């Protein structure tokens, strides 16, 4: 037990350090945590002889990291305003679809004809690099305040469509469709259809009267669906996102509950996820052949940009907004890493190919986001948001921490 507490202390210490660095550099804490994870893993491999010293492959730590991804994905869905999505359905659908299709085709083609990977590995590369990171985008939306704007909610909606395309194609191309898949779909549909009703009932009867029953209820449902998803060969983050969307209308009326739930998730769980994502990068493979990594990273980012920038221009006319939107959609992490791990565990890609894919996915989470926040941040939208917030405060209509 003392070893677990020691490793947990190290990881939380790294999370504190990442927070301090992010504050002074004024960039997303999620990206700093990823970079710190890469650096720590490299140091552990070089000086200590392996990353087992920091326990990145420990079952309990993997569980905490997965829980962080699931809860963060749920919160991302809960932040979606149903009214905004209804009014922006065309933008969300078109941007999300092109955001998946352009890098899928572009990266699969590069892997096959430039890197000379076999057809199945090339298709897996296309799937892994087609994603947009809901975890990173949502974390950035929270830190900037864009999650409260129709601009940010539109980006989150497009992320969902993008990643939904990734999950569907991954399943169609590689995952066997068995009776387990049918059970997962049917049970998930039943549970999710009843989820909003029971959440409201529990809130009406027990809300604000007992010890955080809503948080316990949500975690209970997400864990149950997650276990079912893993049993069927799927991933826990997909039902979590859908669950969040289904209670989005309820969440908009319960801001204090969402804030407390967010504190638990971002303050304790997500550092394990982002730090561990960084430790997955195998630096010796990248150092031995950096060209493969650069080809994959460039293919992902450029195919996203060339595919999305003209399309986003149909919906956003301001230059900063178009570039920021495009670069946020160019990020990758959660589903990209999941797809790469799936390919490696099922023998579709080799360990070296897996390392290149994970490194490209993680780099795409860091580089586009840093450029977007440092160069193309649409500050005029934030100014409008804060102006409206100050007006509500002066009228006594808002209670902020």
Do residues 200 and 369 make contact, with C-beta atoms less than 8 angstroms apart?
Answer: no
Per-residue model confidence (pLDDT) at position 310: 95
d(CA 32, CA 18): 6
- Residue 307: CB atoms within 10 A of its CB come to 23
d(CA 27, CA 32): 8
Per-residue model confidence (pLDDT) at position 51: 55
- Residue 189: CB atoms within 10 A of its CB come to 12
CATH architecture of 57-394: Up-down Bundle (1.20)
Q: At 380, list the tokens.
A: 């005029």
Which of 384, 369, 364 is closest to 318 using CA atoms? 384
Residue with token string 């890609």? 349
- Residue spans of the chain under pLDDT 50: 390-401
Per-residue model confidence (pLDDT) at position 394: 43
Reported pTM: 0.76
Q: At 19, list the tokens.
A: 């927070």
Per-residue model confidence (pLDDT) at position 49: 60
DSSP category for residue 178: -
Q: At 388, list the tokens.
A: 């409206």
Measured CA distances, 126 to 123, 296, 304, 391 (Å): 5, 9, 12, 47
d(CA 104, CA 136): 20
Do residues 293 and 94 make contact, with C-beta atoms less than 8 angstroms apart?
Answer: no
Extents of the domains making up the chain: 57-394
d(CA 232, CA 175): 10
Instruction: Provide DSSP, 299-336.
Output: HHHHHHHHHHHHHHTTT--SHHHHHHHHHHHT---HHH
Instruction: Provide DSSP, 219-242.
Output: HHHHHHHHHHHHHHT--THHHHHH
């Amino acid at each position: 037990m003392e070893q677990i507490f020691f490793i947990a202390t190290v990881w939380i210490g790294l999370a504190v350090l990442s927070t301090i660095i992010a504050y002074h550099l004024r960039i997303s804490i999620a990206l700093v945590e990823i970079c710190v994870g890469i650096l720590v893993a490299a140091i552990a491999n070089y000086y200590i002889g392996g990353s087992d010293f920091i326990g990145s492959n420990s079952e309990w730590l993997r569980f905490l990291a997965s829980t962080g991804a699931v809860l963060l994905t749920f919160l991302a869905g809960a932040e979606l305003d149903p009214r905004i999505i209804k009014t922006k359905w065309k933008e969300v659908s078109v941007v999300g679809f092109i955001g998946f299709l352009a890098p899928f085709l572009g990266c699969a083609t590069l892997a096959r004809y430039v890197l000379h990977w076999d057809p199945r590995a090339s298709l897996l590369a296309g799937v892994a690099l087609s994603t947009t990171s809901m975890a990173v985008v949502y974390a950035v939306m929270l830190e900037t305040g864009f999650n409260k704007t129709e601009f940010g909610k539109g980006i989150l909606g497009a992320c969902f469509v993008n990643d939904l395309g990734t999950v569907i194609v991954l399943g169609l191309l590689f995952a066997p469709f068995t009776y387990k898949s049918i059970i997962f779909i049917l049970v998930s549909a039943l549970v999710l259809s009843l989820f909003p009703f029971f959440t409201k009932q529990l809130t009406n009867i027990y809300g604000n009267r007992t010890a955080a029953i809503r948080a316990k209820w949500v975690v209970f449902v997400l864990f149950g669906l997650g276990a079912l998803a893993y049993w069927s060969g799927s991933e826990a983050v997909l039902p979590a996102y859908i669950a969040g969307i289904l209670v989005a209308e309820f969440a908009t009326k319960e801001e204090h509950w969402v804030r407390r739930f967010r504190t638990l998730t971002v303050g304790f769980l997500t550092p394990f996820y982002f730090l561990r994502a960084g430790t997955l990068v195998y630096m010796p493979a990248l150092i031995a052949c950096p060209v493969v990594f650069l080809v994959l990273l460039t293919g992902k980012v450029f195919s996203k940009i060339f595919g999305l920038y003209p399309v986003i221009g149909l919906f956003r006319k301001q230059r900063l907004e178009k570039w920021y939107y495009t670069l946020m959609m160019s990020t990758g992490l959660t589903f990209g890493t999941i797809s790469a791990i799936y390919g490696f565990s099922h023998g579709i890609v080799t360990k070296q190919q897996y390392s290149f894919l994970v490194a490209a996915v993680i780099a795409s989470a860091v580089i586009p986001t840093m450029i977007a926040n440092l160069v193309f941040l649409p500050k005029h939208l934030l100014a409008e948001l804060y102006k409206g917030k100050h007006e509500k405060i002066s009228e006594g209509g808002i209670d902020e921490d």
